Amino acid sequence: MVSPKTNFKRSATISSAAPLRHKDKAQPITKQMRSTFEALDLETLLSEFRAVAQQKNELAGDEEEEADVTESPSKGEAASSPASGALQWLKSSGLDSLAELHENGQRILDSHVHKLTGHFMPEQIDSVMRRVSSLNRLLKGKDAATSVGADAGSAAGADTSAQFQTQAKSRMSTLSVSTSLGDAEPCTVYSDLGEADKAQVAHLNLISLTSLLESAGLTLTLGKMKKRKKKKGETKVFGVDLTTLLELDATERMHKITDPEVPLYVASVLSFLNEKGKDEEGIFRKAGGAIRIRDLRERIDTESGATDFAACGSRPHDVAALLKQFLRDLPEPLLTHQFLDAFAMTQKLKDEADQLKALSLLVMMLPTVHQAVLKKLLKFLAGIAANEEKNKMGIPALAVVFAPSLFFVRGKLGQKMLEKVEMQVTSANSVKMLLTHHDKLWNLPEDILVQLRFVTELRVSGAKANKAKDVKKLLEANASGKDVRKRSKAPSKEVLAAAKLDGPPVEWVTNSPDSPPVEAIVSVGMRGNMKKVNIYANSTARTVLADLGSSDKTLHEQGGNIGDRRLHPKSKILPIFKHINPDGQLVVI
């Protein structure tokens, strides 16, 4: 039943002759936003949002309401909301110890912050300070005018922190691939990293995203999800979260799995539509048969997502409609409650490069299965758009029909989105950019990779990022060229043991008689053994694998200042050991 609060009689057509205005303000929408309106099929967009809202309201009796994205509190609201948001942000950024201080009723002092942010950039520290200030103001009996807790060593701590930042910037320039190599290094893809590195990247991404948005005057709020319980019979596919679906596939449908990264149903739908739907005019826009769609949905649930669409004579438009239904029925949205608002907020950044970077940071923070489904969905839809001449569904058209399925949620945020045309267009433009740049989204930004190496270097060397004197010692050592870190120049015992090496993995060569000259001899770990290979100035991961007779394998950089990184075939080897990661180890996998 449609909620009485939702007005579905609103006209779907907006005349281009009349200036578009915010619903709550008598101000015309900006020129930039107007150009976005003109690039999209506004009538279809509004119609799609209303249709999705109506369906969700009609199903409201089957399940408990989902949580909204946490918003900034209005005047008169309890102060617990910003406290909760700040605590959640600190924990998600890997700054748990600061959150624990507040939870234990203690003010967070300058010295506490400086100990943890010695390797941060100034704008990143500002983002931390804002949240610390808001938490300190909430503690009863304390001076709310003081944004960050003062302590005897706060001034000295601030000076030391500034020195750290200057020295850290110098060290990270050395680690930066662009300053170490004459030629551009291939991008590191997020999936090339090991699990420990991915976890650290998530922390760095959140901090970087927050500072990027706040530098533009935008405030990032992270959403929360309430646990939702079905009131009626449970289904086996629709309305089931992606993680559960993947687990059920692995335990109950293992013999039918074609892609272990995504649920069986998703893989089956994309495969069928890729084969049968690319040439269908209006695919995803034209409605299928309502009765056929209902019957097919029941069959999919009965067969637990293992339906053979071709064998049962399914029509592409029906299957396409059910894919959108599947996405909008997810209890945890594909873009997640936590980041849904942030995805839309990226479009408020003025520079397109910043918009793309913000989206890239976001997709890499999604849960693993959400990333996998989003990546395959975007690649598939980009393929549909590439066939626009036949199916009439280019990227703008696909963005319009998929934005409601990805962005609309029930509750206050959904109601707000229905009332504000700008929010609907912003969400559609986010999807448009995701589709346009789908092949670049998971390229790890260079500054994030550099920070990852720096943080890992601190940890592996024995220096800790939360101990100011250790950070300062390490930075000064790198600046002076001296090795006064708490480690030997040889790789760690763990690295040597894993590769079964008796000594350093690199032997530097001088006055080589060969042409081209051999620059180094590197010991490469493979299948529990060790093999040596000559490294030349232009040696790449591909040439090393060829020399080892392992062209069908992949070459990984492990240890030193990285956990595990699969090298791109064109990655040059010499700069890794000379400038970037002297203590690293090459391993064939």
Same domain for 322 and 406?
A: yes
Tokens of 347: 């479009």
pLDDT of residue 188: 93
Task: Indicate whether 43 belongs to any domain.
Answer: no
Identify which of 376-380, 425-429, 516-520 has the greatest average pLDDT: 376-380
Average pLDDT over residues 233-255: 85
Choice between 370 and 176, residue whose per-residue pLDDT is larger: 370
Same domain for 286 and 426?
A: yes
Same domain for 426 and 292?
A: yes
Task: Indicate whether 61 belongs to any domain.
Answer: no
- Domain boundary pick from 395, 414, 436: 436
Banded pLDDT at 271 (limits 50, 70, 90): very high
Task: Indicate whether 3 belongs to any domain.
Answer: no
pLDDT of residue 447: 86
- Domain boundary pick from 436, 467, 482: 436
Q: Model confidence over 226-241: pLDDT tens digits?
A: 555 554 556 789 999 9
Say how far apart CA 103 and CA 81 lie, in whole Å: 14
Same domain for 257 and 124?
A: no
CATH of the domain at 566: 3.10.20.90
Out of 243-247, 285-289, 524-528, pick the least confident.
Answer: 524-528
Say how far apart CA 324 and CA 110 lie, in whole Å: 49
Instruction: Find the domain containing 318 and state its range.
Output: 242-436
Same domain for 200 and 86?
A: yes
Residues belonging to the chain: 589
- Domain boundary pick from 390, 409, 436: 436
Closest CA to 353 of 278, 445, 272: 445
Task: Indicate whether 9 belongs to any domain.
Answer: no
Average pLDDT over residues 336-357: 92
Beta pairing, strands 555-559 & 562-566: antiparallel
Task: Indicate whether 527 belongs to any domain.
Answer: yes
Same domain for 136 and 259?
A: no
Same domain for 190 and 273?
A: no
CB neighbour list of residue 52: distance below 8 Å, 6 or more residues apart: 328, 404, 405, 408
Give 566's DSSP letter: E
Banded pLDDT at 68 (limits 50, 70, 90): very low
pLDDT of residue 273: 97
pLDDT of residue 529: 84
Q: Model confidence over 205-221: pLDDT tens digits?
A: 999 999 999 999 998 88
Same domain for 199 and 272?
A: no
56 - beta bridge partners?
none
Same domain for 326 and 426?
A: yes
Asked if pLDDT for residue 78 goes beyond 50, the answer is no
Asked if pLDDT for residue 367 goes beyond 70, the answer is yes
Average pLDDT over residues 301-315: 92
Same domain for 206 and 252?
A: no
CATH of the domain at 384: 1.10.555.10
Same domain for 302 and 346?
A: yes
The sign of the CA dihedral 507, 512, 514, 516 is positive
pLDDT of residue 1: 41
Say how far apart CA 585 and CA 533 lie, in whole Å: 13
Task: Indicate whether 23 belongs to any domain.
Answer: no
Task: Indicate whether 192 belongs to any domain.
Answer: yes
Average per-residue pLDDT in the chain? 77
The count of domains in the chain is: 3
pTM of the model: 0.80
Run of H or E residues at 393: none
Same domain for 271 and 393?
A: yes
Average pLDDT over residues 196-212: 94
Task: Indicate whether 229 belongs to any domain.
Answer: no
